[in-house]
Amino acid sequence: MSNGDQANQVTALQQQLAAMQQELVETQRLAALGELVGTTTHEFNNVLMTVLNYAKLGLRHKDDATREKSLTKILAAAQRAEKICNSVLGMARNRKEEFAPTMLQQLVEESLVLLEREMQKYRIAVQTDFSETPAVRAIGNQIQQVLLNLMTNARQAMSDGGTLLIKIAYHKSANLVDLTVQDSGSGIPKEQLAKIFERGFSTKDGPDETGKGGAGVGLAACRDIIEKHQGRVRVESTVGKGTAFTVRLPVFVQPQAAAGAPIVTQLGVPSMGAVVNGQG
């Protein structure tokens, strides 16, 4: 085979791989959306019960104080429903495949709205630590997919409750942003750590009672998305103590379009490796 043929074959294989990666991300997105429909339908039912009960209370009691309280509760419930709705619709509708300036803090908040009750149910305290950060260069929808996958994994690793910490930190000198999802759960044994991003690798028996987990595609999709963003992902885990996934993304650089000059978007992300701490 000539060099030219070989080069053509490599290009064809690369295109095939890229298409498969895209397909995996899309399939996983739909699966995550399906899971969210389950969670949010339940949530909506809760909100509806609140509205119904306080509407009845307000009608039963004619005094101003009770009516005021009832209306306040109804308003809060409706606002919660609105937030949930917007988050789900955002995920379902926004399929733009374009890189744009993206505020990570907003994505985290929208994702937490969707998983808030689930965290409460499993006695998981949610903490956030956001430093002032510029927008990153990202496809918002896809980074939200990464966040939901990491947060769901974190929740599943804390079967007896625990703490979920979501941190956003800006590294000014390198002009990049770190998004960390940290749990106080089971941790990952060293021999499994090298495999967790493989498609199909899972230590879960199957979907849990919320219908999530077990396919082994969540982290593979995360890896593909982060690669596409020219970002890096790093894992730190200690068995019995917990795990932290850190996604590093480049800050959005406004293209400097001088008259007639080509547009250059600068990206620079130093590589990060997997780190295992104090394997127990």
Ligand X SMILES: Nc1ncnc2c1ncn2[C@@H]1O[C@H](COP(=O)(O)OP(=O)(O)OP(=O)(O)O)[C@@H](O)[C@H]1O
* Minimum gap (Å) between residue 28 Cβ and ligand X: 7
Residue with nearest beta carbon to ligand X: 218
**Contact track, ligand X, 124-153, x by CB under 6 A:** -------------------------x---x
Residue 277 burial (CB < 10 Å; 0-12/13-18/19+)? middle
What sign does the dihedral 197-236-103-124 (CA atoms) show? positive
Residue 123 binding: pick among Mg ion, ligand X, none (C-beta 5-8 Å cut-off by kind):
none
Q: Which helix (H) or strand (E) holds 84?
A: helix 64-93
User: For 242, left (φ over 0), alpha (ψ -120 to 50), or beta?
Assistant: left
In this chain, which of 58, 101, 134, 214 binds ligand X, going by CB under 6 A?
A: 214
What residues contact residue 248 under an 8 Å CB cut-off, 6+ apart? 176, 177, 178, 179, 231, 232, 233, 234, 269, 272
Selection from 205, 197, 136 nearest residue 168 by Cα: 136
Under the criterion CB under 5 A, does residue 140 sit at the interface with Mg ion?
no
In this chain, which of 50, 66, 105, 203 binds ligand X, going by CB under 6 A?
A: 203
**Contact track, Mg ion, 148-177, x by CB under 5 A:** -----x------------------------
How big is the site for ligand X, counted in residues (CB under 6 A)? 23
Selection from 37, 34, 269, 277 nearest residue 137 by Cα: 269
Under the criterion CB under 6 A, does residue 165 sit at the interface with ligand X?
no
Under the criterion CB under 6 A, does residue 157 sit at the interface with ligand X?
yes
* Main-chain dihedrals φ then ψ at residue 99, nearest 5 degrees: -75, 135
In this chain, which of 140, 162, 185, 218 binds Mg ion, going by CB under 5 A?
A: 218
Residue 147 binding: pick among ligand X, Mg ion, none (C-beta 5-8 Å cut-off by kind):
none
Per the CB < 8 A criterion, the answer to whether 148 and 118 are in contact is no
In this chain, which of 140, 218, 231, 250 binds ligand X, going by CB under 6 A?
A: 218
How big is the site for Mg ion, counted in residues (CB under 5 A)? 2
Under the criterion CB under 6 A, does residue 88 sit at the interface with ligand X?
no
**Contact track, Mg ion, 173-212, x by CB under 5 A:** ----------------------------------------
Residue 17 burial (CB < 10 Å; 0-12/13-18/19+)? exposed
Cβ nearer to ligand X, comparing 81 with 188: 188
Q: Which helix (H) or strand (E) holds 246?
A: strand 242-250
Q: For residue 278, give both structure tokens.
A: 């104090």
Binding region for ligand X (CB under 6 A)? 149, 153-154, 157, 183, 185-186, 188, 196, 201-204, 212-220, 243
